[in-house]
Chains A and B, each alone.
Chain A
Amino acid sequence: MQSKQNAAPWLELDGAQGEGGGQVLRSALTLSMITGTPFRIEHIRAKRSKPGLLRQHLTAVQAAAAICGAQVSGAEAGSQRLSFAPGPIRGGNYRFAIGTAGSCTLVLQTVLPALWFADVPSTLSVSGGTHNRAAPPADFLIRAWQPLLARMGVEQTLQLQRHGFYPAGGGEVSASVAPCASLQPIELLSRGALGGIRAEALVAGVPGSVARRELERVRAQIAEVDGQIRELPSREGPGNAVLIEVAHAGVTEVFTAFGERGLPAERVADQVATEARQYLQSDAAVGEHLADQLLLPLALAGGGAFTCTTASSHLHTNTAVIEKFLPVEIEVAQQGAVVRVSLTRA
């Protein structure tokens, strides 16, 4: 198998194209591990003020390399080119400590799909930041992403062991995965009947009054919301986040905003409430971020469709990368007020 993989032609990617940056790299790592296709990426983040790989990208590369015994070159901070030649995916027990350079969830997202197709069951623990800006929080993966995967046949359990907020980190997410032969396509064109809306204000080492103000503000904008304060041990802090979980019969969405020093609690609440309201007012099955996370599993299943509120630039970038690795065609079309994404075997 090894020799066959080595014979596979290299895929060349341009890191300066589209959204570029980390998303192209992470999708490419996942797909490379699963398909056994080696790839080279150049001009990584070429036009940014800090060009090349950042530490958060390296953590994903190192985790991916560990799981499939890949041969990697160029995996250094600031490097603008990387080559990744995967070996066979090896199930087993893994622990990655990534600090706060990046997010546990981004690492999980990169390597979990590979473990779905491993030879044996796996456990995985990633420690560091679990609730960072610019990354989906662990709650989102657990409550929104995972149930949809389960419907596609993925046997995976995610658990948030400890919260880790930026910048202190110190959180941990664990996962256990049983391998599956293949994924079932799903169609998510409508969300079904509304089940309930829950808001949760997390505080760690931050006064409870902040959480109360946030929930009040959310309630003022979304009438039917059910609010709850979660006070975490202060050693997990300092940190504050507001999550709104919107459950429908067909899909659960989770929206998040992070509290930050200098940012009034009301503004944090407004951010997340606005995002949730926009979703509620739309007819789309999933929101922008869940759409991004859904694309790759569907592509691995070889088909499916969903509707989403908007097509982000991440989605377009991901589409281009996926079509290079997998024999699928992805169609992204505006349908009235929603965007319909359909995947078919090429």
Chain B
Amino acid sequence: MTLVVNGASRELRDGATVVDLLSAMQLSPERRGIAVARNGDIVLRADWVNTTLAPDDRVEVLHAVQGG
């Protein structure tokens, strides 16, 4: 399936979860500092493992950067 991750199209296998996406992005789900939003709403860390992504989902994967 195709979805939009951080503004860019990305292919993931059907039924992939948030944890699968993070793994594909080479991000460890255990690592502090990452947050995920799906279609404008936060996906809590505890729900990453059982949140199944759907085609055309808009996913934002965020971390802390210099600012403010």
Do A and B pair up? The answer is no
Task: State the B residues within 8 Å of A (CB).
Answer: none
Task: State the A residues within 8 Å of B (CB).
Answer: none
